[in-house]
Amino acid sequence: MISIPARFLTAGSAVALSLLLPVPRAGAEDSQLFELLPKRIENAEGRKIDASSLNGKWVGIYFSASWCPGCRAVTPRLLDFRKRHVGEGFEVLFVSADRSNREKRHYMRENEMPWPSLPGTGGRHANRLKRTFDVDSYPTLVILSPDGSLVSPNAVADLLHAPETAFETWKKATQS
């Protein structure tokens, strides 16, 4: 099992996950990063797609649930943010903490979430991601750069306080 020390996850600066998780390469299905994910994730319509579709992108891993009032407040902001930055290679991966797949699908449809998600709710892949990124509350948004670096362990604050500059801030953090 991959374990990332909590001291790395609380630092405000970019932390190179590539030291612990090799950078995913096109077709590198054996990458440790992809060991955290199932080989197939679901697109917004619930159809299976390859997790490798996230290779080389800025990925916001969004831990959320329909029953969470804070999540319901953050989701529209994340939708707007993604819409502005999807052309720059930003994508969201939804990790649902809903009680059932039916609740998750309803939440996604209700909010018109266009991004992929982990299949189902909970499960070993979701639990592994939660442990890896030390997720203990909802909503949580973890930002990974295209090279596999952890840029922000809780980017919800970035979305709420500086949505206009968050993406540029994340880019600068990976250049230092």
- Cα distance between residue 100 and residue 162, in whole Å: 33
Contact 146, 175 (CB under 8 A): no
Q: Is the pLDDT of residue 19 over 70?
A: no
Tell whether 115 is covered by a domain: yes
Q: What is the pLDDT of residue 33?
A: 53
For residue 72, tell me if it sits in a domain: yes
Instruction: Read off the pTM.
Output: 0.82
> What total number of domains does the chain contain?
1
- Distance between CA 69 and CA 67 in Å, rounded? 6
Are the beta carbons of 98 and 107 closer than 8 angstroms? yes
Provide Rg for the chain, Cα atoms.
Answer: 15
Q: Is residue 1 part of a domain?
A: no
Alpha helix (H) residue ranges in the chain:
6-10, 32-35, 69-85, 101-110, 123-132, 156-161, 166-175
Instruction: Give the residue numbers spanning the domain of 46.
Output: 6-175
CATH no. for residue 85? 3.40.30.10
The tens digit of pLDDT for each residue in 50-83 reads 999 999 999 999 999 999 999 999 999 999 999 9
